[in-house]
Amino acid sequence: MKILLCASEGAPFAKTGGLADVIGALPKALKKEGHDVRVIMPYYKKIKEKNVAYYQGYSYVRIANRMEYVGVFHAIADDVDYYFIDSERYFNRDGFYGYRDDGERFAFFCFAVLEAIRVVNFYPDIIHNNDWQTGLIPYILKTNYSEHYEYSKIRTVFSIHNIQYQGNFPMDMMGILYMPYSSSLEFGGCIDFMKTAIMESNIITTVSPSYKDEVLTDQYGYYLNNILGLRYFDFEGILNGIDVDKYNPKTDKLIYKNYDIKTVTSGKKANKEALLKEFGLDDDDAPLFGLVSRLVDQKGIDLLMPIIDDVINHSNAKFILMGSGDAYYEDFFRSVEARYPNRFKAYIGYSDPVAQKIYAGCDIFLMPSKFEPCGLGQMIAMRYGTLPLVRETGGLKDTVFAYNQYTGEGTGFTFTNFNAFDLKEVMFLAIDIYNNHKPAFKKLIKQAMEKDYSWKQSALAYINLYKRLV
Ligand code: GLC
């Protein structure tokens, strides 16, 4: 099968979050199963500056009262073909998102993707779109290309990585789109890219079975739950994997000392020692909590705020946290660090090398998310023998199994309700197991490391679904 994966970011070229990891890893896994998989994304300034892509051709699309130039570039990474949409006007900017004209930029991207197919002469069987930035593609395909034979055979899949971000823009945007009006485009008096994709794609997926169930409810659906309900029988949850070659404690060049399941005890000890030293904390065999996250309300930092003083004052736990995002959470991290400089360190920002060192060097990895479509951090943590402490939501619920003190089973620690006291209780449980039940803690580490979260299973699930369509 010929598959075109379409997204607004993808590793190794452009990354702000987990979506980029998926777009970086899924094509490789699909290729291993023998399919022709290619990826298409915007040619941001950051990618341009790398100077690794070659010009393929050009076309024009009609938008905002202009015929707008669409350049197509091509590069190969990890044996996968990447195409980039070049536009001086829309993408040659420092950032990826957050511009006043984001609606127009990504509407342009949607039109441009369909033109690029003609430019590079790659007519896929499946266009697999991801998140709102690609949401108009199935609709444009239907309205503008249905009479073209090669295009008319294309089927579309849309994956929701986070339903909170839908691409809502004022209805008067219709004026720049040159598309017939359809109720598929409109939601709550706005244009809603994600709703369009839900209505117009052949199949909709999201990134874990539990998140799939959740987004069908008022609590998690961000108002689109009833729309998704209309497509219930075409809606599936497929768990993401992680890139087990990239995230491998045995070969990871970014961590202090390599190890595997057999050498995990000494390996983690060495990594923890070096990490504590780097952050200026004493090594006195206290449990070390880590966190690597975008600092936004989704991530459950609100639960940590009211209890962190209690945990620090009534235990020996230490913390090394990394993230950036809302000033409100960044300032909270800074203020705790100021109060407990010997116990709590905050790295405000993001760095891949530091992230890997935290995954390898900590004992417990915190992810108390309010919602989590899949979550990759908990899977990476388990691969490095760091026990995740998570709220049972979305992909966290599907990947982390709670410690059972009677049987010793489990791969981490979990709590159910979005409640700070519940988080505190399970943090004290984890601290107690670490301090007073070393063999149980070690057993959990082994069990976590034995779990297989590679992409293979997910790739097979996607292939099955593509096959249903062609
Ligand atoms: C989004 C979600 C995250 C998921 C990722 C990849 O970033 O918030 O839970 O793992 O997409 O699908």
365-403 tens-digit pLDDT:
999 999 999 999 999 999 999 999 999 999 999 999 999
**Ligand 1 atom 12: the closest Cα is on which residue?**
161
Mutate to test the pocket of ligand 1, among 194, 376, 399 (most ligand atoms within 8 A of CB): 376
Residue 178 has pLDDT above 90, yes or no: no
Cα-Cα-Cα-Cα dihedral of 430, 435, 438, 444, to 10°? Answer: 10
In the chain, what are the domains?
Answer: 2-241+455-469 (3.40.50.2000), 264-450 (3.40.50.2000)
The conformation of residue 412, written as its DSSP 8-state character, comes to B
Residue 226 has pLDDT above 90, yes or no: yes
Sheet holding 413-415, edge to edge: 344-348, 318-325, 288-295, 364-367, 387-391, 413-415
| Rg of the chain over all Cα atoms, to the nearest angstrom | 23
Q: Is 396 in the pocket of ligand 1 (CB under 6 A)?
A: no
Q: Output the pLDDT for position 9.
A: 97
Mutate to test the pocket of ligand 1, among 370, 374, 393, 462 (most ligand atoms within 8 A of CB): 374
Q: Is 24 in the pocket of ligand 1 (CB under 6 A)?
A: no
Half-sphere exposure of 462 (CA within 13 A, CB side): 35
Q: Output the pLDDT for position 335.
A: 98
Q: Is 17 in the pocket of ligand 1 (CB under 6 A)?
A: yes
Contacts of 52 (CB under 8 A, 6+ apart): 75, 77
Are 423 and 301 in contact by the 8 Å Cβ rule? The answer is no
Q: Output the pLDDT for position 404.
A: 97
Query: Global pTM?
Result: 0.95
Q: What percent of the chain has a predicted confidence (pLDDT) above 90?
A: 99
Q: Which residue has 């309700």 as its token pair? A: 417
Half-sphere exposure of 194 (CA within 13 A, CB side): 23
Q: Is 37 in the pocket of ligand 1 (CB under 6 A)?
A: no
Distance CA 406, CA 261 (A): 24
Collapsing DSSP states into helix, strand and coil, what is residue 204? strand
